[in-house]
Structure 1
Amino acid sequence: MEKATVVVIGGGATGVGILRDLAMRGVDVLLLEKLDMVNGTSSRYHGLLHSGARYAVKDQEAARECIEENSILRKIGKSCVEATEGLFIRLPEDDVDFEGKWVDGCKKSGITAIPITPQEAWQLEPNLSHQIIAAYRVPDAAIDGFRMAWQNIDSAARYGGRVKTYTEVIRIVSENGKVIGLDVRNYFTKQTYFIACDFVVNAAGPWSGQIAALAGLDVNVQPDKGTLIAFNQRISSRIVNRLHVPSDGDIFVPHGSITILGTTSMSVKDPEDTSSSFHEIESLLQIGEKTFENLRKYRVLRAFAGSRPLYSASGGKGRGASRGFVILDHSEDGLDGFMTITGGKFTTYRLMAEKMTDIVCQKLQVTTPCRTAEEALVPEVTEAVKTKARKYFPAYGTELAADRLGADRFKRVVERLEKNPEERQLICECENVTLAEIEEVITEGTSFTLSDIRRKTRMGMGTCQGNFCSLRSVGILSRTENIDQKQQSLQQLQEFLQARWKGIRPVLWGNALRETEMARGIYGVGLNVNGGSPK
């Protein structure tokens, strides 16, 4: 029988943060995720590491939390954060009175907001609208949700923390008002089994209400869907926010070679609803071109959506609901050993984890203090290892791979390349992903699908959206025991291509339309694979 002292449910940012914190304090902890890690909210957002300025008027507490955590995450997760800086700009249609309130709010929250002239703003970002009335520089940054999550897991593993992916919780088991474990089901085999534990932490984000219901409890979490657009160019070097009451389509976040525009806010019944419509995309573009007047000249790569977990005891929805987080101790509901944490933002995930872990450790009589704000997630890659790696990676590929893989995994990849230099071949040219990287992540026991590989390496996330690397990658995956070669290779390829198609379909014009025709020709016509065109 499997057992752990604490089981954490949910493999998003908050869940992995709690996993790391508990493991570092010496608690036997196991995290369960029904699919792959960070497949939900924590990877389906704009990737903004908030300075807190967006909340400086409405929510001072959230603003202060953001600026403090912003500083911490830059320190402990250097390779996950791109220190882009941010601009807040006011356009003629934006309320001039709001600007004064915002400046005052930033000052009270401890957020540095440096006023600059429109001319200075255009020098920094030449593509900005020439209708700017006012502009400010703030310490926003971009952050990679996939990378941050896996580095938390790697850190936790060094202290004994464990994870089980593709493991769905189907029942919270209790006796005499006390949790004793969980019944779970394997996603692939459908086998059910019991995991014993003393404590359960529900960190399932927008699914938190569903998990609580398995224990007969009611948690009022409203999934709030946000749709975003990824452009294939870096429109700006800095994050750009509109200086007005937070609304749809008013944030541009550069990531590597792309830019993400977001987001919408729409209450939905099911957090699994990650659909995007042409109407939503057109609305975002119309709003976005107020900030960048030539926005439609840039190629749209894809659209995507995710659900925020908004908690409101009073039933508030959408932008009217708080972005703060809440911790619920269900011993007050008659079930000891079960707690829920929900709400919040990616930027404050570490703080949320610390607050929850403090409570759990107090109940377990563990007195070890939190160290997650001081200790780096992963060690830095040494120059000696980078020097070896440069023999095998493209000119700028060494730094990219070192950042996305972390020191330990990167070292293992370099050792692979030293033994088998032919594994230097690029499987994904768009993101400079080598055969050695893909083979390494497949061996780690948590990569069962092409999308699992994508989330760890960025394979398939570049310009061609997997048109070429997906076929190569499924061939590599089929050589392992992770899938049945005869039965699942074609299914894996089809599912991966259909997932890419889901994001392309709402933006099917221009180059996206031409590339879809190419994909249809390669897979639908040439290989008779149902994936290069809609089902």
Structure 2
Amino acid sequence: MCVIPERMRFTMEKATVVVIGGGATGVGILRDLSMRGVDTLLVEKCDLVNGASSRYHGLLHSGGRYAVKDQEAAKECIIENQILRKIGKSCVETTGGMFVRLNIDDPDYEEAWVKGCAESGIEAKPITLEEAFRLEPLLSKNVQSAYLVPDAAIDGFRMSWQNVESAKRYGGRSLTYREVIGIEQANGELKGVKVRNTITGEEEIIECEVAINAAGGWAGKVAALAGLEVGVQPDKGTLLAFNQRITNHVVNRLHKSSDGDIFVPHGSITILGTSSMSIPDAEDTSTSRAEVENLLSIGEKTFEHLRDYRMLRAFAGSRPLYIPPGGAVGRSASRGFAIVDHADDGLKGMFTIVGGKFTTYRLMAEKMADKVCAKLGNTEKCRTAEEPLVPEVSEDAKKAARKYFPAYGTNLAATRLGPERFAKVVKRLEEAPEKRELVCECENVTLAEFEEIAQEESCYQINDIRRRTRVGMGTCQGNFCALRSAGLFAKYGKHERAAETLTRMKEFLQGRWKGIRPVLVGRTLRETQMTRALYELSFHVNGGKKE
């Protein structure tokens, strides 16, 4: 609990509702409430989509993974799967999914799974082995049966930012790099939240009627600031990214959910995941060589030549599993979500939402917004399932812009930017031909696009631009674009920190190095030696040491 004496109180912002946490659930709530006309402000201690919503396999679930053990979650997934395909077309790659049972997997589970899919409303189409190997020629010959399901790949960064852009159109606001350090209350009622600017160290109080704790794995810590308890267990999942597209579909092992049994194609890469490990602190996104080896040894049962492919990096995220009193943990814990009204705990105006998964973020936001609006007397209905997140860039606009972009670059920029920013970038490219130069060849990011994002108020470091444009996230992992990005950020960035060129470059490289270190074998090791020579010897930047 944080109670500030009257003489020390000061307020910089006011809102009817403050949403704490800028992951998928938080931005979904921001959008929903804003569309209903509620004055809503989101605060996030880092950049948006910095936690679990960007540290997962990027799977838009069909619900098939939960068809046996969690029917409710399976039904939610298939419904939300169809909704997100409709409202977020530019964020979804409709790869389709395939469940395969190997000769080491229990055939009885297959029977239960088929029944569970039917009961959940999930179309699971059986196909012949000949068809399975035609669609996925690299599959192990130990596959015994296969089914097609409506899984897909989804870009968590893009989906979340588009929610924020949508919310802005209805008056929604967001503040990044604002960590909640206190909950203001009096006589059992919420009065506001106290935040610290993690860049400047300045503190301020934001007055509000309602605060929604959507902090994911940190929800327990936020609740504790108000003297409350929430049963949330951070559960770490480690994943591997490979530098090529091993699969055409999302491929799942048809067995009881376990480690390393999902392959998700994303653009030109493939992500293998995930593991499950209960951890004491959601900040722990470390990965180890042992975790990498565990995923490889399991994954190569589905794709036997998995070790022949170059690994780009390992990364980890922390699932915020809701643990009710006496509830199960780890993979036995439900992937459903829970909403807690802390009026029952003696604090009116405070809510917590925890659990769930990225696929169901919109549904979670709708249910949370329903409760808040009921408290506020707002009778507006949810419209987030019908209205697209952002308008699509027209085919005519893309056709006209193709002469300014490299091959494939037009569509990539259009999906990342949306129509308004795309038009601004195209104008930059038209008026200044030198801005057609690529900052990142792997992801086709032009200087004009980098400049457009760098000048946003929310960009304090290069990694903020990375999450918006994917600069440095391609197959070279920043080998060439780190130096360019640092120089350009110093030139175009709006904040004073941008001028600290060497520091910003070190931050960027360190973020890449963290994921590369656990996969330093073969071709990955050789490329890392080139990176070391380029940056350590030329610029005295040691990527292996934290500054």
User: Which TM class, normalised by the smaller chain length?
Assistant: over 0.9
Answering whether residue 233 of structure 2 is matched by residue 228 of structure 1, we say no
Contact 1:497 1:532 in 2 (8 A): no
**Structure 1 residue 480: Cα displacement:** 3.7
Partner of 1:24: 35
Answering whether residue 155 of structure 2 is matched by residue 144 of structure 1, we say yes
Answering whether residue 249 of structure 2 is matched by residue 238 of structure 1, we say yes
Contact 2:461 2:498 in 1 (8 A): no
The 3-state SS of whatever aligns with 2:18 is strand
**Structure 1 residue 391: Cα displacement:** 1.5
Q: Could you tell me how far apart the structure 2 residues matched to 1:102 and 1:516 are?
A: 43
**Structure 1 residue 315: Cα displacement:** 3.9
The 3-state SS of whatever aligns with 2:105 is coil
Partner of 1:297: 308
**Structure 1 residue 53: Cα displacement:** 0.5
Q: Deviations over 1:126-171 (max 9, x none)?
A: 0000011110000000000000000000000000000000011100
Answering whether residue 181 of structure 2 is matched by residue 156 of structure 1, we say no
The 3-state SS of whatever aligns with 1:291 is coil
Partner of 1:499: 511
What are structure 2's unaligned runs of at least 5 residues? 1-10
Contact 2:490 2:499 in 1 (8 A): no
Deviating beyond 6 angstroms after TM superposition, the runs of 4 or more aligned structure 1 residues are 532-535
Contact 1:237 1:254 in 2 (8 A): yes
Partner of 2:467: 455
Contact 2:29 2:369 in 1 (8 A): yes
**Structure 1 residue 483: Cα displacement:** 4.0
Q: Deviations over 1:471-497 (max 9, x none)?
A: 111111112453436962211111111
Answering whether residue 507 of structure 2 is matched by residue 529 of structure 1, we say no
Q: Could you tell me how far apart the structure 2 residues matched to 1:123 and 1:304 are?
A: 31
The 3-state SS of whatever aligns with 2:57 is coil
The 3-state SS of whatever aligns with 2:34 is helix
Alignment of 1:35-54 (within 5 A): 35-54=46-65
**Structure 1 residue 387: Cα displacement:** 2.3
Q: Could you tell me how far apart the structure 2 residues matched to 1:158 and 1:276 are?
A: 39
Partner of 1:360: 372
Aligned letter for 1:113? Answer: A
Partner of 1:344: 356
Contact 2:237 2:317 in 1 (8 A): yes
Q: Deviations over 1:249-295 (max 9, x none)?
A: 00000000000000000000010000011001001000000000111
Q: Could you tell me how far apart the structure 1 residues matched to 2:192 and 2:365 are?
A: 21
Partner of 1:130: 141
Partner of 2:437: 425
**Structure 1 residue 304: Cα displacement:** 0.1
Q: Could you tell me how far apart the structure 2 residues matched to 1:391 and 1:286 are?
A: 46
The 3-state SS of whatever aligns with 1:182 is strand
**Structure 1 residue 117: Cα displacement:** 1.3
Partner of 1:374: 386
**Structure 1 residue 316: Cα displacement:** 1.9
Q: Deviations over 1:352-407 (max 9, x none)?
A: 00000000001000011000000000001012321231111012110111112122
Partner of 1:169: 180
Aligned letter for 1:120? Answer: E
Q: Could you tell me how far apart the structure 1 residues matched to 2:418 and 2:217 are?
A: 29
CA RMSD of aligned residues (A): 1.1
Q: Could you tell me how far apart the structure 2 residues matched to 1:303 and 1:533 are?
A: 18
**Structure 2 length normalisation: TM-score?**
0.96
Decide whether aligned partners of structure 1 residues 187 and 64 sit closer, same or farther in structure 2, where only a CA change above 3 A counts.
same
Answering whether residue 27 of structure 2 is matched by residue 7 of structure 1, we say no
Contact 1:524 1:533 in 2 (8 A): no
Q: Could you tell me how far apart the structure 2 residues matched to 1:220 and 1:490 are?
A: 42
The 3-state SS of whatever aligns with 1:244 is coil
The 3-state SS of whatever aligns with 1:195 is strand
The 3-state SS of whatever aligns with 1:394 is coil
Q: Could you tell me how far apart the structure 2 residues matched to 1:231 and 1:28 are?
A: 43
Q: Could you tell me how far apart the structure 1 residues matched to 2:318 and 2:58 are?
A: 14
Partner of 1:329: 341
**Structure 1 residue 533: Cα displacement:** 6.7
Contact 1:34 1:165 in 2 (8 A): yes
Contact 2:311 2:524 in 1 (8 A): yes
The 3-state SS of whatever aligns with 1:375 is coil
**Structure 1 residue 416: Cα displacement:** 1.6
Aligned letter for 1:346? Answer: F
The 3-state SS of whatever aligns with 2:301 is helix
Q: Could you tell me how far apart the structure 2 residues matched to 1:158 and 1:254 are?
A: 32
**Structure 1 length normalisation: TM-score?**
0.99
The 3-state SS of whatever aligns with 1:248 is coil
What are structure 1's unaligned runs of at least 5 residues? none
Out of 61, 65, 72, the position equivalent to 1:61 is 72
Q: Could you tell me how far apart the structure 2 residues matched to 1:359 and 1:165 are?
A: 25
Contact 1:381 1:406 in 2 (8 A): yes
Partner of 2:102: 91
The 3-state SS of whatever aligns with 1:160 is coil
Number of aligned residues? 535
**Structure 1 residue 54: Cα displacement:** 0.4
Aligned letter for 1:48? Answer: L
Contact 1:361 1:367 in 2 (8 A): yes
Contact 1:226 1:264 in 2 (8 A): yes
Answering whether residue 405 of structure 2 is matched by residue 390 of structure 1, we say no
Q: Could you tell me how far apart the structure 2 residues matched to 1:444 and 1:525 are?
A: 33
Alignment of 1:243-254 (within 5 A): 243-254=254-265
